[in-house]
Amino acid sequence: MSQPKSELKTGLLALAEVALIDLPAAVTLRTFKRETDGELYKVGWKAYEAATGIVGELTNRAYANRRIAKVGARVLENGLRTQRVADAVAGAFFSALWPSVGLPMASDIEALRRDVKALREEVRTIAFEREAAAANETEDFSSEAEAARETAIREAAIGARSHLSHDPASWIGWRAIPSMEVRNRVRR
């Protein structure tokens, strides 16, 4: 019995066969216009498959080599150290430069966003209260329904403020419109 050939050996033999036999034959057939069914195209794909097989096998062997693995680990470790140093230097440089330029920091912008969001919530709550007061003039709600409405408004206002600042809904501006929730609770 013969031993199974390695993938590298098989790939090299296939590439040599394509380069020395199939490719010249396909070019000759195309030159004399006797090519049938895209033989040059098929030979090109055969060469591509052989080359990718060789490259894949060489890559697998490189990763299996201890020396290359050690060198790769050192390169990654040194790259991460360099990145940490660069981040520290950039942080020190910009922390001194930023105030002198007069531009706001990211934390200042985030605080401003939170303040604007709180103002939006207050304005919406007040607008809903006015709308509800106008509706109360035309409709006669019982005192129990009125108490439930006020409790729901407070819960919605407090609940909207208590979400985390990194919540994706805070990027949009609102979780849900509190007035819609309150109307649905009161009129059921």
Q: pLDDT digit string (tens) for 139-158?
A: 555 666 777 777 877 777 77
- Residue whose entry in the numeric block shows the structure tokens 């920091």: 105
- Give CA–CA dist 168/175, Å, rounded: 9
Asked if residue 35 is part of any domain, the answer here is: yes
Asked if residue 95 is part of any domain, the answer here is: no
Asked if residue 171 is part of any domain, the answer here is: yes
Asked if residue 85 is part of any domain, the answer here is: no
Angle 19-25-28 from CA coordinates, rounded to 5°: 120
Nearest-10 crossing angle of helices 66-101, 39-64:
90
- Mean pLDDT, residues 105-117: 87
Question: What's the pLDDT at 150?
Answer: 79
pLDDT tier at 52 (50, 70, 90 boundaries)? very high
- Per DSSP, 44 falls in state H
pLDDT tier at 188 (50, 70, 90 boundaries)? very low
- Give CA–CA dist 43/31, Å, rounded: 15
Q: Are the beta carbons of 131 and 179 closer than 8 angstroms?
A: yes
Asked if residue 55 is part of any domain, the answer here is: yes
Count up the domains in the chain and report the number. 2
Query: 165 is in which domain, residue-wise?
Result: 106-186
Judged against a pLDDT cut of 90, whether residue 6 lies above it is answered with: no
The four Cα atoms 92, 98, 100, 101 give a dihedral, to 10 degrees, of: 140
- Residue whose entry in the numeric block shows the structure tokens 């408004």: 153
Task: Please count the CA atoms within 13 angstroms of the CA of 168 that sit on its side-chain side.
Answer: 0
Asked if residue 81 is part of any domain, the answer here is: no
Question: What's the pLDDT at 140?
Answer: 54
Judged against a pLDDT cut of 50, whether residue 38 lies above it is answered with: yes
Whether residues 112 and 175 fall in one domain: yes
Asked if residue 160 is part of any domain, the answer here is: yes
Whether residues 177 and 117 fall in one domain: yes
